[in-house]
Amino acid sequence: MNITFHAEIENGYSTGYEMLHGTHRGEGDFQIRGRATLTPDGRNNNIHYELRYSWNDRIDKNAKYSGDNFFAGILHFFYDPKDYAIHIHWKADSDVTVCDGKIIRSNGYPFNKVKK
């Protein structure tokens, strides 16, 4: 698996993510890399995922967010902050069982409890 897309967290200032509310294309956006191993078992297909997730961002002022403009103005009053890249990586394995095209069992990240 090799997936890259832009990801955003809505209202980062209310959730505590502030300057991390969106990935940055120039830094790599959001990436999911790894492999999925399929093991058929009768009507079921068992899939084991070994994945690495990456949140790639640049800590900089984004005119799209009023909070960025406000806080950047305060910071620039006191000193001259520099933009910087930040890359957050984590690994997480997960397992899924699919029957007739529906997930019937799952565990691990990001598959929290699936309603049956």
pLDDT digits (tens, 9 = 90+) for 31-45: 999 999 999 999 999
The whole-number pLDDT of residue 18 equals 66
Q: Using a CB cutoff of 8 Å and minimum separation of 24, what contacts does 60-64 make?
A: 60/19, 62/22
User: What six digits make up the tokens of 41?
Assistant: 């078992």
pTM beyond cutoff 0.85 = no
- Residue 57's CB is within 10 A of a number of other CB atoms, namely 22
The amino acid sitting at 18 is E
H-assigned helices in 1-116 = 12-15, 66-78
Whole-angstrom CA distances from 67 to 20, 71, 74, 102, 108 are 12, 6, 11, 42, 35
